[in-house]
Amino acid sequence: MSSGYNFAYLDEPTKRMLRRSLLKAVAIPGYQVPFASREMPLPFGWGTGGIQVTAAILGRDDRLKVIDQGADDTTNAVSIRDFFAKTAGVATTLSTRDATVIQTRHRIPETPLQHGQIMVFQVPIPEPLRWLEPRETETRRMHAFADYGAMHLKLYEDVARYGRITTAYDYPVLVAGRYLMRPSPIPRFDNPKLDASPALMLFGAGREKRIYAVPPYTSVKSLDFEDHPFTIESWDRPCARCGAADSYLDEIITDDRGGRRFVCSDTDHCNQRLDAKEKAA
Amino acid sequence: MSGPILEVRDLEKRYGARRAVAGVSLDVWPGEVLGIVGESGSGKTTLLSAIAGRVAPSAGSVTYDGRDLTELADVDRSRLIGDKIGFVHQNPRDGLRLNVSAGGNVAEKLMAAGARNYGALRETACRWLDRVEIGRDRVDDHPSKFSGGMQQRLQIARVLATQPQLVLMDEPTGGLDVSVQAKLLDLLRGLVDELGLAVVVVTHDLGVARLLAHRLLVMKDGLVVEHGLTDQVLDDPAHAYTQLLVSSVLQV
Amino acid sequence: MNQSRKENLLLQVSDLSKRFTLHEQGGVVLSVLDDVSLSVAAGECVALDGPSGAGKSTLLRCLYANYRADKGRILVQHGGEMIDLLHADARALLDIRRRTLGYVSQFLRVIPRVPTLDVVAMPLLSLGVDREEARDRAADLLRRVALPEPLWKLAPATFSGGEQQRVNIARGLVVGHPILLLDEPTASLDADNRARVLELITERRDAGAAIVGIFHDEAARSALATTIHPVRSRQEVAAA
């Protein structure tokens, strides 16, 4: 841990401010709590909301995992992991099972989460009604009155135009039967993992200055129609590395002649399965 | 008919010292179209906004179907107005979502009311498009591509889709070509008769008032100066201001 | 007045007065009707008689509650009761007009661009008659007044005066109101069409309608009127 920084970079009053917002967010599942987002040593859009939430909740005994699109080894994930190793001196890990705090961009790990774990999501646009209603005063009123007539409209427009619901990520959900929420740009494949999860889910939007949360074991329902029910993505082949048939796959171009492979987006999950196979062999 | 669906009593709206609406009472019964005429600044639009819950009255009551809207919590009033009271804006762009298909515009309030079957929603939307004489083949088009008259008809379909019992209209034919106005008036009259709607329509066009309204209120300086059956007020105006209004209409 | 006529009175006007205050002209008060009384029984036709400006049209319009009379009574038999138009509220007046009081004005005033057949059917629709039946009945009347069928689909705005008047008569008679108020129903008709319209109105009268009308046309008056009611001009012009 380098000296010269307060623990986890942010000063203590800022962390207290963040924790108050987090407590309110947990108390009102799915409700967007405003907070005084700080300048961070990286630009908005690079995970500043998630980093501030992580900084506010990290303790000295935590083990931090950071993933970007499911991978622990991409630039953003490596940088943020190093940032907290440097400023907080906490242990880091690549293992979903071993982590106490997992900061993520665009995925929820395949390994089932456990009670006591905390997920921290990086959120670009927190407001689910924003595409439809540009006025913040109006979207606040709509949330306050649970006036969600507009909430199915995006799905209606999908089916009208394409014959099916095409929304593939950031698929809107209703939290605890009350607040409409954007789950951040995770694939809709991950939406069912939010429902009644034993882990605490925290969402931070740095540029938009909003925090929201899904407490453990909270109902999270993906919106749909009776005749166009919610479904998750599926693939006609398993992972080319580990052979998993039930994980979210990334398409990887392997050459200039159209060659491609489908592999797990969750690198830890894929590697664990490969290790297990090797041990068994 | 059991009684009025809307009862307004001593409604007042003050802006500082100025009284935009200075104590207005009116009743509207199911199946009845009440016209409110008067020049700009007479308070007619403020009165309509206060009935619609868009402007908080300074005094008086607005009772819809036995419930005083001014006494309700904001959320209850908003729901009641959303479900049971329709509002047709003068400019259809204020009452439509231009970046959403015609079908979506009609279906939105039905989804708010809990409808979750896409096929049924779409069929309902198409039936409403039929009613307002917009081709079903336009159901997936955005209203930004529609003419002003079509946009206004779509707005009416959107408002009527939840089957409100009371519809408030602010200059519904304003800003439309005269030829389009006539078609819209015919449509509105037909819908009012068929659906037994109660309507309050604000207009400064006495021709529109004559063709659409059963009864008229004439407003001036925030007060109702004359009221009666539409043809009584227009053919036998008693108040000086009404006589001025009627005699100022250009004859074709 | 014999007993049976008294029982059949559909319209009873007594001591009716109507004044106009013209605010636009310095508050001049015109007293047009003063203590007018008349009554009409089923099967009778009262012709209002008097020079231009005597107040015939004003009286007719008061009887329709188009003009608001200042005092007196206009009792109309409506739904088995005698109702005073001067004290009926707006909804009662509209109901009386829908069911009981028919009015044929000199000029047709309707929503532009509505086809003639629907213009004529409209009074039936507002009574709740279904569209098919309303159109059938409207078509019967248009045939009776000999309006050429190709015109039925067109809006009447571009029709000749005589054609518009026949549309107006068809519209006024389509419901079969027990009381009819007619303001020069044959004024702009040629001889053939006048005969057709008079035959139609005579039929209605003989079937028991009570009619009050203004007929400048001598043929119409002699064919229809059972009573002539003189309307005397008693205008007093006074400053307010």
Nearest to B229 among C90, C113, C114 (CB): C90
pLDDT of residue A178: 96
B83 CA: distance to closest CA in chain A (Å): 11
Active site residues of A: 30, 239, 242, 264, 270
Question: Given an 8 Å threshold on Cβ–Cβ distance, is C66 in contact with B231?
Answer: yes
pLDDT tens-digit map of B18-32? 999 999 999 999 989
> Does the pLDDT at position C140 exceed 90?
yes
How large is the average pLDDT for residues B183-198?
86
Q: Which residues of A touch B101 (CB under 8 A)?
A: 157, 160-161
The whole-angstrom separation of Cα C210 and Cα A115 is 89
Interface partners of chain A (CB pairs < 8 Å, 3 or more) are B
The answer to whether chain A touches chain B by having 3 or more C-beta pairs less than 8 angstroms apart is: yes
Establish if B229 touches chain C: CB-CB under 8 angstroms: yes
ipTM value of the model? 0.89
pLDDT of residue B251: 66
Under 8 Å CB-to-CB from B35, ≥6 apart: which residues? B201, B202, B203, B208, B209, B212, B213, B215, B216, B217, B230
**What is the average pLDDT score of chain C?**
91
pLDDT tens-digit map of B130-187? 999 999 999 999 999 999 999 999 999 999 998 999 999 999 988 788 878 888 888 8
Domain ranges of chain C: 1-100+216-240
Question: Which residue of chain C comes nearest to B230, CA vs CA?
Answer: C66
Establish if A156 touches chain B: CB-CB under 8 angstroms: yes
Region at A170 (left for phi over 0; alpha for psi -120 to 50; beta for the rest): left
Positions in chain A short of pLDDT 70 = 1-3
Establish if B239 touches chain C: CB-CB under 8 angstroms: yes
pLDDT of residue C112: 78
Domain ranges of chain B: 6-95+163-251
Q: Which CATH superfamily is domain B6-95+163-251 in?
A: P-loop containing nucleotide triphosphate hydrolases (3.40.50.300)
pLDDT tens-digit map of C203-237? 999 999 999 999 988 888 999 999 999 987 655 44
pLDDT tens-digit map of C28-41? 999 999 999 999 99
Establish if A39 touches chain B: CB-CB under 8 angstroms: no
Question: Given an 8 Å threshold on Cβ–Cβ distance, is C22 in contact with B229?
Answer: no
Q: Which CATH superfamily is domain C1-100+216-240 in?
A: P-loop containing nucleotide triphosphate hydrolases (3.40.50.300)
pLDDT of residue A205: 97
The whole-angstrom separation of Cα B200 and Cα B216 is 10
Choose the mutation target among A133, A157, A180 for the interface with B, i.e. most B CBs under 10 Å. A157
The whole-angstrom separation of Cα A12 and Cα A6 is 8
Cβ-based neighbour number of residue A276 at 10 Å:
11
Secondary structure, 3-state, C119-172: HHHHHHHCCCCCHHHHHHHHHHHHHHCCCCHHHCCCCHHHCCHHHHHHHHHHHH
Q: Which residues of A touch B122 (CB under 8 A)?
A: 160
- List C-alpha distances in Å: B1 to B35, B51, B198, B216, B227: 20, 22, 12, 20, 22
pLDDT tens-digit map of C166-213? 999 999 999 999 999 999 999 889 999 999 999 999 999 999 999 999
pLDDT tens-digit map of C58-68? 999 999 999 99
Q: Is B2 helix (H, G, I), strand (E, B) or coil?
A: coil
Under 8 Å CB-to-CB from C44, ≥6 apart: which residues? C205, C210, C211, C226, C227
Interface partners of chain B (CB pairs < 8 Å, 3 or more) are A, C
The proportion of chain C whose per-residue pLDDT surpasses 90, expressed as a percent, equals 76
Question: Given an 8 Å threshold on Cβ–Cβ distance, is A160 in contact with B104?
Answer: yes
pLDDT of residue C203: 96
